[in-house]
Chain A
Amino acid sequence: MHAPGRFKKAFMEQLLLGLRAAGQASKSMGLRERRDAVRLSSDVAMALASSSARGAPPPHGATASWARALVARHAAERRNEALLRRIMGGAGYEMALAAAAAARGRKDARSRRIVRRSRRVLSAGRKKRTASGGGGGGAMAARRMVKARMKVLRTLVPGADGLRGFSLLSETLDYVACLKTQVELLQCLCKGSRSRLG
């Protein structure tokens, strides 16, 4: 797992650079566009920093999928193209696009599988429910609650769509940690800039 200090630094650096790039691009944009640019650059910063901070210490294959999915999500929108290109370089942007396309393909296949499976489970579940009745009712309710919440979590955490159970929690953990850092850094920047202006 990455060292948080290093992650923070990498994040901050990347964020500053990204913001600078965004600032160059958005001299004339409206507030909302600027806000989106800021958010984009901070997300990209987070993703890149997390990969870099995590890359060295832990073994390979430990890159969080949320990072790539996050960047891919941003890359999917055409209007971000210029900014993304500037921040990540043309090659990086192409890779982000490729990742976005791959994610979409995966999602389609997965959704089809899910529909099929849910149909099967539903027909079986009806049998289950009539069989278990009272004693198992509580268990079933708890399980359903957890399942529902996992579903919500999957929508929240980027790139966690196909994950189950343990890996979902892993991704959530990473994502939460990075989100916290992101918020802190953004607050820090806000304070810093405010103290300059004010």
Chain B
Amino acid sequence: MESRAAGGGDYIASLLSSAPRLDFGVLGGVPGMDGAAGDGGDSLEKFCGDPGFAERAARLSSFSGQRFAGAGGLFGLPPPALAASNGDFGGSREASSVSDPASAMRDANAKKRKAPAAAKGKGKEPPCQAGEQNDSDAKRCKTDGGDKREESPVKPKAEQAGSDVSVEDSGQKPGKGKNAKPVEPPKDYVHVRARRGQATDSHSLAERVRRERISQRMKVLQDLVPGCNKVIGKALMLDEIINYVQSLQRQVEFLSMKLATVNPVDFSNLPALLQKDMFQACGPSASSVFSLESSNSGFPFSDQGDVFQSFVPNGMENQCNLNPLDLALSQATSAQYAFQDGTPSSNLQQRNFWEEDLPSVFQMDNGQSQENGVSAQSFHGQLQAGHMKMEF
């Protein structure tokens, strides 16, 4: 079994090894962290919500024993950085204790992000101080020009550059890079720290906010796209990103071609075959999985049954979804169930997908395939049970 795990099941094991940890009730912490990070009080955190994805991804990947590092740094963060978090998460089982280091890390990350953003702003100013209105200054202005199209696209360049320079010059003379002057008008929901002496009218503040947002995004993209660290500058980074996206798309095509060469009959066997690898990956839950497998009807679905509940409005928690799913799939080949039950709920959920509302499209209208009828039925059963939360 071990050799098998080392072989083909490596990816799958790493993929699913996050499951058992989350099963252990760290779950309470992880989504708590996600949720908190998602709607953190500071709106800047909202922006960091996306960059936080990378951080959190790395943190979660630490669960898998850092095999993701071998997978090419899936989320682009260095594994050593996760060593600390790994200890935290691995040890604690309480939601509160997990969310604390999580939030601490999140705050640290947010601070890290804010600092570089500020530093970037500061770093941009010195070149301007030389008074040159060309590349470096223009590079900053160009982000404005690119984004503030709605303002005045026809504004002559000189005037625009002039206004920008006036904004920056006044900032440089008094205290270049002094970030501490609290001349901040609370602009609707974003609190921008205006630099000392800089113009604080709404326009330039909006510009600065936009620029910072954009630079944040670029930073996250930089982390995400490998090889972007060496390049500085928007155009070159965009070049890298474009190349990367193209290569990824080509890879997907190639891989799908490869998968297509697999005998399609194997698709039905695939889940059952994968399950054997998953058995090693998801330790304790596996026993219940196999007990379920032996019984041919009426899954308890207490732990794992919430495959579909995660896509129900409430579903915040993650769980070992894959097991019961494949369990259902493999079982359904031998079982016949009425699948009309799943239809109404799945329609509702798909509507949510299209209306940007709620997740839950996974309950695909499985009227056509019987195997999904199994899960549909169980899902429906639990729907009637009245509560949509997951229990462990």
Residues of A within 8 A of B (CB): 1-6, 8-10, 12-14, 16-17, 19-24, 26-27, 31, 34-39, 42, 48-49, 51-63, 68, 85-92, 95-96, 98-99, 117, 120-121, 124, 127-128, 131-132, 135-136, 138-140, 142-143, 145-147, 149-150, 152-153, 156-157, 164-166, 169-170, 172-177, 179-197
Contacts and interface: CB of A to CB of B under 8 A. Distances in A.
Given A8-B15, A10-B310, A169 B352 contact: no
Contacts of A39: 252-253, 256
Interface stretch (B51-59, B168-176, B186-194): B51-59
Interface stretch (B80-88, B120-128, B155-163, B195-203): B155-163
A90 B69 CA distance: 41
Nearest to B147: A165
B242 A152 contact: yes
B266 A197 contact: yes
Tell me if A's interface is mostly helix, strand, loop or mixed.
helix
Interface in B284-338: 307, 310-311, 313-316, 318, 321-322, 325-326, 329
Contacts of A169: 214, 217-218, 221
Contacts of A36: 256
A92 B365 contact: yes
* Residue of B4, B156, B235, B316 with most partner-chain A CB within 10 A: B235
A166 B138 contact: no
B180 interface: no
A180 B135 contact: no
A95 B252 CA distance: 25
A164 B219 CA distance: 17
B357 A56 contact: no
Instruction: Please report whether the interface of chain B is mostly helix, strand, loop or mixed according to DSSP.
Output: helix
Contacts of B264: 22-23, 26-27, 34
Contacts, number: 371
Nearest to B135: A138
B214 A14 contact: no
Interface residues of B, number: 131
Given A13-B322, A188-B15, A190-B262, 19 more contacts: A1-B50, A56-B35, A56-B315, A86-B369, A95-B351, A117-B153, A156-B249, A165-B143, A169-B214, A173-B224, A175-B245, A179-B249, A183-B252, A187-B11, A190-B255, A191-B8, A193-B270, A195-B4, A197-B263
Contacts of B146: 143, 146-147, 150, 164-165
